[in-house]
Structure 1
Amino acid sequence: MAIEVRFSRESDFEQLLEIDNRIWNTATTPAVIKWNSISEYKQRNPEGSQLVALVNGKVAGYLGFHSPTPLDTNQHVLEIDIAVDHHFQGSGVGKSLLSSAEKIFKERGIKKLSLRVLETNSGAISFYQKCGFIEQGKLINEFFIDGKYVNDLLMYRLLE
């Protein structure tokens, strides 16, 4: 299966919105993401603010990125989030997104990728560990989801 990775375009927004509305739930995020319109999605995720993975021209997943703070002293770090459509999970889409992101971000002087993941999301944690991410902290009882307290794991990977 050929996977193409590139920066997001406005023509991707409908498919990206659909992926978000399908995959984010109380097992994967502390606040379920539901977009009401493409214009709402576009306002929060402008063109080029995500890497998208395409399989046969269809958006299969994305990697979002942003600076964790506006501080100049923190601009070598990017916080990322990854979403892969259920139909493409386990097919290399997530790894392709991460591999492409690391290459692009290293060229831009980024030294560290960080992310947050719910401790209950064991599939995502396993994926991140396989990709070289290490736990750097844990926010205990950070969220109250479906009647239970859930820890939020902080993970990172240094880009050499």
Structure 2
Amino acid sequence: MPEPSLRTARPEDEEPLRRLDRAIWSYVHAVTGPPAPDEPFFRDTAGPEDHLVAELDGRVVGYIRLGFPTPLPANSHVRHVRGLGVAEEARGRGVGRALVRAAVEEARAGGFRRITLRVLGHNTRARALYESEGFVVEGVQPEEFFLDGAYVDDVMMGQKLV
């Protein structure tokens, strides 16, 4: 089974990433409704340079979006995972794991002290992946969201890099 190739996103990835985001949308990992057909993938606060992209056989099959937990200078030493998506047909092939590892290594190489993320409590597959890559639960906001008829916990996870 071939390993995914990873790279920084480029502007021309807009459409494949937009299609991917719409195809994988679910309340298992999203707290907002599905993206509108004309909603851009890249935004002012999350351009191509803020994304790592995974490809298999030359096709975009996943991404991880990186940013900061807040705009405050006081925590600019923290990198934050703002999204992770993997195409259904690429799941179980190491794409998500490769993206998480690359994000952690990029943060470490960039001199960040920590990397953090938030994940929905019922997203057990993602939580297991993050835990297996060294993230630990640092807090839980019980029943923080009401999604698809159920209350769902918001789980904060993090990892020290230095």
Q: Same fold (TM over 0.5)?
A: yes
Structure 2 residue 64 is matched with structure 1 residue 68: no
Q: Aligned partners of 2:61, 2:114: CA distance in 1, in Å?
A: 25
Aligned to 1:32: 33
Residues 64-143 of structure 1 aligned to structure 2 (within 5 Å): 64-80=65-81, 81-143=83-145
Aligned to 1:50: 51
**Residue 42 of structure 1 aligns to a residue in which SS?**
coil
Paired residues of 1:30 and 1:143 also in contact (CA < 8 A): yes
How many residues of Structure 1 are paired with residues of Structure 2 in the alignment?
159
Question: What amino acid does structure 1 have at the position aligned with 2:4?
Answer: I
Report deviation, 1:37: 2.6
Paired residues of 1:133 and 1:156 also in contact (CA < 8 A): yes
Cα RMSD between the aligned structures? 1.5
Q: Aligned partners of 2:130, 2:150: CA distance in 1, in Å?
A: 24
Give the TM-score normalised by the residue count of structure 2.
Answer: 0.90
- The equivalent position to 1:148 in structure 2, one of 143, 147, 150, is 150
Q: Aligned partners of 1:126, 1:19: CA distance in 2, in Å?
A: 22
Residues 53-84 of structure 1, C-alpha deviations (whole Å, 9 max, x = no match): 11111111111011111222201111102111
Paired residues of 1:61 and 1:83 also in contact (CA < 8 A): yes
Paired residues of 1:2 and 1:56 also in contact (CA < 8 A): no
Residues 7-26 of structure 1 aligned to structure 2 (within 5 Å): 7-26=8-27
Give the TM-score normalised by the residue count of structure 1.
Answer: 0.91
**Superposition misfits of 4+ residues, deviation over 4 angstroms:** none
Paired residues of 1:116 and 1:153 also in contact (CA < 8 A): yes
Residues 57-116 of structure 1, C-alpha deviations (whole Å, 9 max, x = no match): 111111101111122220111110211111111111112112222222212111111111
Q: Aligned partners of 1:16, 1:41: CA distance in 2, in Å?
A: 7
Paired residues of 2:101 and 2:133 also in contact (CA < 8 A): no
